C-alpha cells in the first residue's frame, strides 16, 4: 500500500466528508484520513491508483466548492 498526502483547503467537517466520499469511490483506495484543522488528507491506496487520478477528482470538487487542492510536497 502507498500513502499520498494532499493539502486541501477544508473549512468544516462537510468539506472533509465530501473529500472522503469522492476519494472513497476510487477502486483501490483503502483508507482516507482528513484533518480539517491541519487541512491535510492522507490517502492509503494500492499502486494501481495514481496520485494524478486522485488529484483530478479532487480538483473537480475544488472548482465547484472554491476550496484549494494540491498534492503535498514530500
Task: With respect to residue 7, please indicate whether it lies within any of the assigned structural domains.
Answer: yes
| pTM, to two decimals | 0.93
Q: Which residue has the cell 486541501?
A: 8
Residues paired with 33 in a beta bridge: 42
Residues 6+ apart with CB under 8 A from 2: 44, 45, 46, 47, 49
- pLDDT of the residue at 27: 96
**What is the number of structural domains in the chain?**
1
Task: With respect to residue 57, please indicate whether it lies within any of the assigned structural domains.
Answer: yes
First to last CA, the chain: 17
Task: With respect to residue 73, please indicate whether it lies within any of the assigned structural domains.
Answer: no
Task: With respect to residue 74, please indicate whether it lies within any of the assigned structural domains.
Answer: no
Q: Where are the alpha helices (DSSP H) in the chain?
A: 13-24, 51-65
- pLDDT of the residue at 63: 95
- pLDDT of the residue at 73: 76
Classified as helix, coil or strand, 45 is strand
Instruction: Print pLDDT tens along the chain (74 aa).
Output: 999 999 999 999 999 999 999 999 999 999 999 999 999 999 999 999 999 999 999 999 999 999 999 999 75
Amino acid at each position: 500500500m502507498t500513502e499520498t498526502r494532499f493539502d486541501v483547503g477544508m473549512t468544516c467537517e462537510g468539506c472533509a466528508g465530501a473529500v472522503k466520499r469522492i476519494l472513497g469511490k476510487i477502486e483501490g483506495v483503502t483508507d482516507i484520513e482528513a484533518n480539517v484543522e491541519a487541512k491535510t488528507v492522507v490517502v492509503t491506496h494500492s499502486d494501481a491508483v495514481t496520485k494524478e487520478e486522485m488529484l483530478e477528482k479532487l480538483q473537480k470538487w475544488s472548482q465547484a466548492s472554491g476550496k484549494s487542492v494540491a498534492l503535498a510536497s514530500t
